[in-house]
Structure 1
Amino acid sequence: MPGVAPFPEAVADAMRRELPKVAERAVEEIIVAVPGYADAFTGKMGRKISTAVELTLRGFLELAAAGGNADAATPGGPVVEAAYALGRGEARSGRSMDALLAAYRVGARVSWRDMSAAAVAAGLGPEPVARFAELVFAYIDRLSAASVSGHADELASSGRAAQRLRERLAHALLTGAPHAELIGLAQRAEWTPPRTLTAVLLPEGRTRGAMVSLDPRTLLATEDVPDLEPTGDLAVLLVPDAEGVARGALLRGLAGREAVVGPARGWWEVQASYGRALRALRQGLTGAEGEPVDTDARLAELVLRADEQALADLRTRVLAPLESVGDTAREKLTETLRCWLLHHGRRDQVAAALFVHPQTVRYRMTQLRELYGPRLEDPQTVLDLTVALGVAVPPPAPPEASSGR
């Protein structure tokens, strides 16, 4: 922007003499117009701010009064740096830019009003005064832009720092760090501990959508997750207070996301929740039709699958009496025995579960008693069979309805 013609020396001197009063009035009117700054602008701090405003105005006036090639609308380096730092300070104080920009507008208005009045009284003509007004507001615009930039940079920087601290906290929780260490990390991350945390495993690409409806305190771990297979596509969410009714909401929100949900545990003990979810994942538990795996509802399977080789050995031993029959008959007898155990020998319920006639159940149980003899009445044998067949054979599909029904 081109400069203005140099102010007459008498005019420049008159304006310089007014600068201390202009700065004081600017601060006073900012306090009235922007109540959020009232405390900051009083006492010793208020005097410092008034002095800073005066120095800023003096620097601007020197540029404007110089004329020639000077660009009076462009603040000098130190002034811009101060405005940038002011924006960063606002962000660190937790304030938006609204108050600071309002203060800039008030300061510009007061400065223009009082300094132009001094210039006119000293004999400055209308055209230079109008040009002076244009430069005042262009100058303030540049300072405002520098403060906005500082505010945005501070938010981005502090946001990244907070995220790193929360990632460290998540990693410490998953590795079972000491309670005192967890408290310290939570304080540094400005994270308020909940009553409980629930570990959720899911593909990393589906975490953003999942977190939209979750508690803002939810922690995310995607890198260096302990004991997780190094596939690079799985992440862990640590969800606050997702027990009771809230667990149902969590499970509904995770539908279709291939998630495995551990139990709720005290927040500092979430490593146990993560361990259970991890075991369910490794044991191949899956949800029905895209539903998440709720480990709280699959406890028996988790127990039975804890040692697959031991379960296989047990199954082989307790089903040995069926080795004397053919494959088809063995399959039918095995599933009948399983249902008989689960339904405590209630023939009609067994028949309904197998989609067969009760007489068929009676016939098969007669065969089984012949093969096992008195062992079917032995409590230990019944326990072994129940454990061995607990997750052994999926229930048969119901037969298709005939055309005559």
Structure 2
Amino acid sequence: MADTERIQHASRTARGAADLDLGSAAIDQLRSRLGDIAENTVSAIIAEVPGYTNALAGPMGAKIEGAVQLALGGFLKLAGSGDPGAPLAPALEGAYILGRGEARSGRTMDALLAAYRIGARVSWRELSGTAVEVGLPAETLAKFAELVFAYIDELSAASVAGHTDELATTGRVRQRYLQALGVSLLHGDPVDQLTSRADRADWDPPRTLTAVVLPNAQVRSVLAMLDPRTLRPEDDLPELQDEEAAELAVLLVPDAEGSARSALLQSLRRHQAWVGPPQPWTTVRTSYLRVIRARRLGLSDSPDAPIDTERHLAALVVTSDPAALHDLRRRVLSPFDTLRPATAERLTETLRGWLLHLGHRDAVAAALHVHPQTVRYRMTQIRDLFGATLDDPRTIQDLTIALAGPRHPEAAAGRGSVESGSSADH
């Protein structure tokens, strides 16, 4: 292999392992546990690194188990040989090839390093437990730990080298194709064009894609937890102003439905993110446009949770035509036009609460933080203004819709496409 020279630097680990006196009984006991260690390592990676969940759940999982067992077995063989010149090149070459393969599969270096970190933790937990059982002294156990982690560090470094080399060649070309595909999806290009771009990028289309928008600064920590097929178009983002495009990132996440959607939302906790609905992959532009609207409407959930547009469908529906919403509000709330603005605002909020809580005075009072008698007084004023129309189902319907959306309809339009000052009299 052309890169063998890069990965021949393992002599330090080889010398240290050769000096490690574990004893044949401990070596035999540790070797007998390698199958279980490999299985537990793969299970932990599947559970903790979402990018590997599907990849390792099938036959590939068994292959990786074998690779883990082989790598650790090679280390134990080295530790028991007493030969400081024993080569580690075969194990490191395997790690290098693994890194290149992961790059071709579309998994990021962050995901790969996360898998190594988890593998190191699980492997040492299992190895150390067995070492304690066979009665290794503390000094030997400490040296054993140092060399196990040094060995895994060298394996991960070799994989990173392979990953980097792959991206530097075919990976760079493929990345350009993936970029073109992502932009094409956001623009809603024809299906035959999208399919052609996916084939050229060697990208396996999922059932659905979900649009996620978040600040650029938060992308790196999120990507490692997502499906490796996730697209991140970075140029020519439609519907965004220049300043928005400069500070925001768009991710198109595959098959984030059902429990996978819950996992996506969980991975975005404590991130400022907006999450659209899952859509058939060729129509993800619909999800993207909904996310952009939700962001501009200022919709929000709990402070440490991403904004899930599926929880705000009513607000998105009633603001789909901001001019019509403005006209509806102006018409149905016209009885307040003769009042001072502050009075009109108080009565509007009371009416909103009365509609939302189905006329339950105590619930309205609790929501508005006022006394129930205050609610009763205000509702008397409202009934005087509206008269019998307040008992008309059509009026109730119109009022509910008018008061369901954002208080300022121009915000729903994104950039003031509705007449200014439309809500000042409410």
In 1, the alpha carbon distance for the partners of 2:313 and 2:200 equals: 37
In 2, the alpha carbon distance for the partners of 1:252 and 1:95 equals: 25
In the superposition, the TM-score normalised over structure 1's length comes to: 0.57
In 2, the alpha carbon distance for the partners of 1:235 and 1:359 equals: 50
How far the C-alpha of 1:290 sits from its partner, in A, is 4.5
How far the C-alpha of 1:152 sits from its partner, in A, is 6.9
In 2, the alpha carbon distance for the partners of 1:338 and 1:192 equals: 49
Residues 362 and 153 from structure 1, CA distance in 2 versus in 1: closer, same or farther, beyond 3 angstroms? closer
In 1, the alpha carbon distance for the partners of 2:294 and 2:175 equals: 29
Task: Summarize the alignment of residues 102-117 of structure 1 with structure 2, pairs less than 5 Å apart.
Answer: none
Correspondence for 1:383 among 376, 393, 397: 397
**RCO higher in structure (CA 8 A, sep ≥6):** 2
In 2, the alpha carbon distance for the partners of 1:374 and 1:150 equals: 77
How far the C-alpha of 1:209 sits from its partner, in A, is 1.4
How far the C-alpha of 1:270 sits from its partner, in A, is 0.7
**1:266 to 2:280 alignment:** yes
**1:319 to 2:333 alignment:** yes
- 2:307 maps to amino acid: V
SS in 2 for 1:324: coil
- Structure 1 residues without counterparts, runs of 5 or longer: 1-89, 97-148, 395-405
How far the C-alpha of 1:336 sits from its partner, in A, is 1.4
Sequence identity (%): 52
Deviations 1:189-240 (A, max 9, x none): 2221112110011222321111011111111111111222222222210001
How far the C-alpha of 1:185 sits from its partner, in A, is 2.1
In the other structure, the counterpart of 2:384 is: 370
Native 8 Å contact 1:369 1:376 kept in 2: yes
Residues 170 and 355 from structure 1, CA distance in 2 versus in 1: closer, same or farther, beyond 3 angstroms? same
- 2:211 maps to amino acid: A
**1:305 to 2:314 alignment:** no
Name the larger-Rg structure.
1
Native 8 Å contact 1:222 1:236 kept in 2: yes
In the other structure, the counterpart of 1:198 is: 210
In 1, the alpha carbon distance for the partners of 2:353 and 2:225 equals: 41
In 1, the alpha carbon distance for the partners of 2:102 and 2:407 equals: 62
Equivalent pairs counted in the alignment come to 253
Task: Summarize the alignment of residues 6-405 of structure 1 with structure 2, pairs less than 5 Å apart.
Answer: 153=165, 155-231=167-243, 232-391=246-405
Native 8 Å contact 2:183 2:233 kept in 1: yes
- 2:348 maps to amino acid: T
In 1, the alpha carbon distance for the partners of 2:353 and 2:343 equals: 15
Deviations 1:44-77 (A, max 9, x none): xxxxxxxxxxxxxxxxxxxxxxxxxxxxxxxxxx
How far the C-alpha of 1:264 sits from its partner, in A, is 0.4
Native 8 Å contact 1:204 1:222 kept in 2: no
SS in 2 for 1:316: helix
Residues 152 and 189 from structure 1, CA distance in 2 versus in 1: closer, same or farther, beyond 3 angstroms? same
How far the C-alpha of 1:285 sits from its partner, in A, is 2.9
Native 8 Å contact 2:274 2:291 kept in 1: yes
How far the C-alpha of 1:327 sits from its partner, in A, is 3.7
In the superposition, the TM-score normalised over structure 2's length comes to: 0.54
- 1:284 maps to amino acid: G
- 1:179 maps to amino acid: V
How far the C-alpha of 1:253 sits from its partner, in A, is 1.8
SS in 1 for 2:345: helix
Residues 392 and 211 from structure 1, CA distance in 2 versus in 1: closer, same or farther, beyond 3 angstroms? closer
How far the C-alpha of 1:273 sits from its partner, in A, is 0.6
Deviations 1:323-372 (A, max 9, x none): 33344432222111111111222223223322333333222222211111
Native 8 Å contact 1:222 1:234 kept in 2: no
Residues 392 and 228 from structure 1, CA distance in 2 versus in 1: closer, same or farther, beyond 3 angstroms? closer
Native 8 Å contact 1:200 1:262 kept in 2: yes
SS in 2 for 1:221: coil
- 2:234 maps to amino acid: T
Residues 94 and 245 from structure 1, CA distance in 2 versus in 1: closer, same or farther, beyond 3 angstroms? closer
Residues 353 and 324 from structure 1, CA distance in 2 versus in 1: closer, same or farther, beyond 3 angstroms? same
- 2:242 maps to amino acid: P
